[in-house]
Chains A and B, each alone.
Chain A
C-alpha cells in the first residue's frame, strides 16, 4: 500500500504529516466518501475533495487506512496533546468502512472500484475496474432503485454505464455474460455520488482595446439543472506567456432551468495590447438537495487575447492616445520588434523605469497622473532607430453645471446659461460637450459652447403651446459625465432684447414722443418699459410705461412736463410687466432739445442813484436756466411816472445794468426779460430812496460759509429788506449784488462764491417801504481775516541820547486783510547787519515789545535808552488773522556829551592836583631826596680798571657807568625763547644772503630795513628742481604759488596728497632761506644743519607779514605764532602773496582775533 502523499486542499497542498492534524485542529474532519477522501469544514461547509477518483476504492481505502494509522502513529504525541476526538472518530469510521468494503470485494477478478459521478443531477456515470482476465467480452449491467421497480439490465462492452441518479440508493449488479465469473452487486447511496458540474465553455471573449476591457460571455447550462440552484463561477485572468494569474474573481448567478448567456467584463490595469491575456472559467453549483459530495467543475480551456507583442510586426506605445482622469495610475507599454532595443521610455519629460513584459514588450507605470497641457502629454519610447509614442490627455470629468438659468428674449427661443465649474483641461475633440434635453417634449438639442471664452449659452426653441419646460443639461467628456436640471415657466422668465431704432418726435416746448422697436413675439404679455430722461441741469428721471405687447412691433410713449429749451438725453429699456424678471439692456441714447418758451418770471432788480444823483443805475440778475426758458436776448427797462413812460431802454445781453438819466426826480422802474419765445412778466422797483439818519457801520466776520448780518426789527418796513453789497475784483468796477429778505427777517447769512478771504466787503441794509427804500445800516465784513499784507511804514522822528520818537502811517485798507487790532513795536540793541534775523525771531533777551492797541495813535516815544547805542526797531500791525511782516529801522542814540566832559575833567583835575602836590613836596624835600636817592658817585673814568669801557662804547664821550641809555648791540641771539620785543633787530635778517632775496612783486624791496621775507617753496618737485638751477648757491627767491592750487589742498586734500603735509602746516611768512637748503623730502642733512644752526630765526620786520597772513587758511590758529617775534621758520610753510578777494570780506570778523597784530602792524606802518 502506498501512503497518502498529499491531501489536496483547494488553496494548495498540505503535507500528510501535518495536514491531518491541522485539519482536525481547525475543526475540519475527514470523511471517506465515494470517490475520494473528503475534508469537511464546520464553518463554511465547503467541501474539499481529495482527488482520487482514478484510484480503486479498495486500494484507496487501504491506502487511506494505512495512512490514517500512520498519521496516528506519527502524530500521536501532537494528537493526544490536541485531543481531537473527532479525528479519532473519523479515523475509526474510515477504518470500519474500509473493512466493510474490503469484505464486499474481497474476491479477486470481480468488478471493483465502482465510481459514480453526476454532472447534471439526473444521470450519473458509473465506472468500474475489472481484472485483466475479464477485460474482454460483454458485461451484464443491471440496476434497480428499489424493490418495486423492475431491474434494468443491459449489456455493455465498456466498463462504464450511465444510469439515473437515485433518490436514495441504487443497487447495481455487474456480471460477465457467458462466463463463470461471479456477478458482483453494489449498493450505491446518493451520498456516495459526486456532483461535478459540466465544465463551462466560454462562448466569446472580446477585447475592447481602447478601454483595456475583456468582455466574457458563457452559457450557464441551466436547462439541465433544476430551477433555482445557485451557481458560482470562478473566472481567472492570466497574463504573459507564462500565464501568470492576474486576478481571480467569483461570479454568482441563479440557474433558471434555462440556458442563460452570462456576461462579465474586466478592465485591465495594463493595456491589452501590451501582452497576451488569458481567461479560464469553472463553476460550482450549490445543489442543496443533493446529499452527495459537490465539487467545482474543471477549468474551461483558456481563451487568449493576444497582445501586440504576439503579432508579427506589431509595434507602438499603448494605450494609444488615451484620455484619463487626473490622479489615475497609468501603465504604458512599448511593443517593438524583437531585434530592437529600447533606449528609454519617458512620460512627459520624465524617464521611467521599464518593466519587461515579454521579449517584445516593456512597460512603465505612472502614478497619480497630473493634468496635461492642451496638446496632451507625450509618452515616448526611444528605440535605437526611431521613436514610438502615444499622447495621453489627463483631465477632469465635467463638473456639474452650476447656476443653470433659462430665459427667453423674444418667446421664440429659450436661452439657457450656466457656469461650467472646474475646467476639464480637455480641448478639441475631447472637449466637454453639452446637450439640452427637455423632458416634457423629449426634444434634445446639442449645444455649441466655446470652451475658451467660457461663454456657456445654449438655445432651445420655444415650442407651441408649452409654457413650462423641464430641462436637463447633460455634460459629458471622455472621462465622465454630469447633468443639471431646471424646471422653468418661460412666461416668468422674459428678458427682452435691447430696444432698437429709438427715435424722438415733437417740437413742443414741454412734451416729446418716443418710438422704439423690440424684436420678439410678445403678443400674450404686457411690456413694462422704462424711459430714462436726463438733462444737463436736472437729475436723472425714470419714467415707467406699461404697454401691451405685440409681435415684433414698434412701441410709442409720450413724455410731458418737460422743460422748455432743454436738451434731454433719452433711452429706453423694457421687461415683462406681468412677471418681472429682468430689464433688457438700455437702448442707445438719443438727444432732443425742447423748443423755447417765454421766461417764467421777471428778473430780480435793484437800483442805485449815481454819486451825482442825476441818474439812476438799474441792475438785474440773470434768470436761472429753469426760469429763462430759453436764451435771454435782451432786457427792456422802462421808467414810469404815474403810468407815464419817461424812458424805455432795450439792453442786450450780456449787460446786466443800465443807467437812466432821471435828474432829481423819481419813477417806477419796470424790467422785462425777453427771449426768442417772448417776454417775461415785468419786475418793478421804485427809485425813491427815503432819507435816513444815524447810520451805523458794524463789523462782521463770516461764521461758516457766509457773512452773518443782523439787524433790529423795523416794523414800518412793510415789504422786506434788501442787503446790497459790491464785488470788486482788481481794477474792474464794483459789481453790485443784492439779496432780498421778507419783512419778518432780522438777520441774514450772505453767501457768495465770489467772496474771498482777506477782502473787505461793504454791505448796506435797506428797508423797503411802500414809498421807497431806506438805508438802515452799513456792515463791513470779511469772509476770513488774514494777517496784514504789509507792515506800516514808520520813521524815526526824533532821537536823543536816551529816547527815540517813532511815527507811522496807516496801512491801506486793501492790505489790512482784516480788521486791524493794533501794532507791535519791538526794539533792542543791534547793529545793522544783513545777516541778522528779524528782531522778533532773534531771541534777543533785551528785546522789548510795545503793544499799541489804540489805532488812533500814530507815534510813540521809546525811553530809557543808552546813549550812542545802535538800536533795531521793528513795527508790525496785526489783525485777528495774525501779524504782518515787520518793518525794521536801525537808530543810533546820541552821545551823552555832559557826562563825557565830566568824565574827562575830573581825572585831569585830580592828576593836576596830585602833580602840584608832588612838585611842592619834592621841592621842599629836595635835599633829602638827593641824599637818599641820588648820593654822590665817583666818576668811573677816573678808574683805570674801567678803561675797556671806552672800546665798547666808542664815540660816546659822556659815558657813565649807570647810564640808562639804551645801547644797541651788534648782535642778539635768541635761543629757545620767543622774543616779544619788537625792537630787537635780527642781524641774520640783515645778512648779505637775506639782502639778495628779491621778492618778485617787489613790494618789499624798498623797505627801509631791507628785510626780505622769504616764502618757503611749495614741495612740488618741478619747482624745487628748477629753483636751485635758477638761483644757485643760496640765492633767495620768492615763490608764488597759484592761489587756486593753494586752496585746493585745503578743500580737497586728497587731490594733492604730496602737498598735504605742506597745507596742513599752514601758510606763514618766513624768512628767506637759501633754496638749496630746502629739500622736498624729509630733512636733508643740509636742512637739518640749518635747522640746528639757523633753525630759529626771528622775523625782523613785521611789515613784511602783510595782509596775506590773515587770509591764509588756518590763519586763526596760526595767529599767535605769527604774532610772536622770532618765531621759528618752518621750511614747510607757505604764504599767499595774493589772498583771494572774497576772503578779504569774510576775514573781517576774524580780524578781531588779529587785533593785536593789526595794532602792532599799524603802529609799525605808521
Chain B
C-alpha cells in the first residue's frame, strides 16, 4: 500500500506527522507545567508513586518497535480518547470541589483537555490518510467508575497527568516513526494485517 502511496499523500502524511509532533511537544510541555501546578495545589507529594489505575491507558508497551503504523495510530487514538474523558471528569470534579476558587488550575486543565481533543482529531486525520476506518467511540463509554474519595480523586488526577505526559512523549516517537519515508514500507504489513 505504501508503495502505491502517491507523492502527495506521502507529503500530506509527513506534514501531518510533523504537525502532530509539534502538537504533542506543546502538549507535553503544558502537561508538565500542569502537573507541577496540580501537585502543588492539591498538596500532594510530587514523588508519590501512583499505582496503575483502571481506565488510565498506559504508555508503556512491549515490542514497540515491532508495531505497525496503524497500530500506533490506533493505540494513540484510543489513549487520547480515554484521556479526553478522564480530563473532562477531572475538570468537572475540580469545579465541584473548588467552585470559582483557584480558577487558574481549571483553566490549565481545560487547555490541556482542548489539546488532547485536538490531538485525537489529528490522529483521526492521520488514520483517514492511511485509508483506515476510524474506530467509533463507544456510545456511553465505560460504566462510570465508583465514586472515589477526594484523596483517591487527587491521586487519580496525578496518575492521569503523569501518564498523559508519558503518552505525549510516546506519541512524538510514534509520529516520528510514522513520518519517516521508510516507515511507509513498515506500515504496509501492519495495514495488511489489520482488519
Binding site for B on A (CB under 8 A): 316-317, 320-321, 348-349, 373-380, 386-391, 427-429, 431, 450-453
Contacts and interface: CB of A to CB of B under 8 A. Distances in A.
B104 to A, nearest CB: 11
A429 B41 contact: no
B194 interface: no
A320 B149 contact: yes
A151 B75 CA distance: 99
Given A373-B43, A375-B43, A427 B100 contact: yes
A389 B97 contact: no
B157 to A, nearest CB: 10
Given A348-B43, A375-B43, A452 B151 contact: no
B62 interface: no
A427 B154 contact: no
Contacts of A379: 151
B101 A390 contact: no
A390 B99 contact: no
B1 to A, nearest CB: 47
Interface in B41-89: 41-45, 48, 51
Given A348-B43, A386-B51, A375 B98 contact: yes
A282 to B, nearest CB: 40
Given A321-B150, A428-B99, A375 B155 contact: no
A387 B48 contact: yes
The list of the 3 closest CB pairs from A to B, nearest first, reads A389-B151, A391-B150, A452-B100
Given A387-B155, A428-B95, A374 B100 contact: no
Given A427-B100, A451-B101, A377 B149 contact: no
B36 interface: no
Contact of A375 (B45, B102, B103): B102
Which one of B43, B48, B98, B151 has the greatest number of beta carbons of chain A within 10 Å? B151
Given A376-B150, A391-B154, A453 B100 contact: yes
B138 interface: no
A1082 B2 CA distance: 94
A317 B44 CA distance: 16
B151 A431 contact: no
Given A373-B43, A428-B101, A390 B96 contact: no
Nearest to B44: A378
Contacts of A453: 100
Which one of A316, A386, A389, A431 has the greatest number of beta carbons of chain B within 10 Å? A389
Contacts of B100: 427, 450-453
A428 B103 CA distance: 11
Contact of B154 (A378, A428, A431): A378
Given A387-B48, A389-B155, A428-B101, A375 B42 contact: yes
B140 interface: no
16 contacts: A374-B98, A374-B101, A374-B102, A377-B43, A378-B154, A379-B151, A388-B151, A389-B149, A389-B154, A391-B154, A427-B98, A427-B102, A428-B96, A428-B101, A451-B99, A452-B103
Contacts of B99: 427-429, 431, 451-452
Nearest to A373: B43
A316 to B, nearest CB: 7
B146 to A, nearest CB: 13
Given A375-B41, A378-B44, A428 B149 contact: no
A477 to B, nearest CB: 12
B151 A317 contact: yes
Contacts of B98: 374-375, 427-428
A375 B151 contact: no
Nearest to A316: B149
A376 B43 contact: yes
Contact of A391 (B41, B45, B102, B149): B149
B97 A427 contact: yes
Interface in B91-129: 95-103
Contacts of A389: 149, 151-152, 154-155
B42 A380 contact: no
A429 B43 contact: no
Contacts of B42: 375, 378
A380 B97 contact: no
A475 to B, nearest CB: 16
Contacts of A317: 151
Given A320-B149, A391-B150, A427-B100, 15 more contacts: A348-B43, A373-B41, A378-B43, A378-B44, A387-B151, A388-B151, A389-B152, A390-B150, A390-B151, A391-B149, A427-B98, A428-B97, A428-B98, A431-B99, A453-B100
B35 to A, nearest CB: 15
Contacts of B155: 387, 389
B95 A390 contact: no
Contact of A374 (B41, B45, B51, B96): B41
Given A374-B41, A375-B41, A375-B42, A427 B101 contact: yes
Contacts of B95: 428
A1061 B152 CA distance: 85
Nearest to B93: A428
Contacts of B97: 375-376, 427-429
A376 B44 CA distance: 11
Contacts of B149: 316, 320-321, 389-391
Contacts of A451: 99-101
A317 B154 CA distance: 15
Contacts of A427: 97-102
Nearest to A431: B99
Nearest to A321: B150
A274 to B, nearest CB: 16
Nearest to A450: B100
A392 to B, nearest CB: 9
A823 to B, nearest CB: 81
Contacts of B102: 374-375, 427
A455 to B, nearest CB: 11
Contacts of A374: 41, 98, 101-102
Contacts of A380: 45, 151
Which one of B44, B45, B97, B154 has the greatest number of beta carbons of chain A within 10 Å? B97
B38 to A, nearest CB: 10
A378 B151 contact: yes
Contacts of A377: 43
A391 B101 contact: no
Nearest to B38: A375
Which one of A320, A376, A379, A388 has the greatest number of beta carbons of chain B within 10 Å? A376
A348 B43 CA distance: 7
A52 to B, nearest CB: 56
A754 to B, nearest CB: 62
A320 B97 CA distance: 15
A453 B100 CA distance: 9
A321 B97 CA distance: 11
A316 B43 CA distance: 19
A923 to B, nearest CB: 131
Contacts of A316: 149
A161 to B, nearest CB: 62
Nearest to B155: A387
Interface string B138-160: 00000000000111101100000
Which one of A316, A380, A388, A428 has the greatest number of beta carbons of chain B within 10 Å? A428
A618 B84 CA distance: 90
A374 B100 CA distance: 10
A453 B99 CA distance: 12
Nearest to A452: B100
A431 B99 CA distance: 8
A431 B98 CA distance: 9
B89 to A, nearest CB: 15
Contacts of A321: 149-151
A428 B98 CA distance: 4
A168 B50 CA distance: 79
Interface in B148-192: 149-152, 154-155
Contacts of B152: 389
A429 B43 CA distance: 19
Contacts of A375: 41-43, 97-98, 102, 154
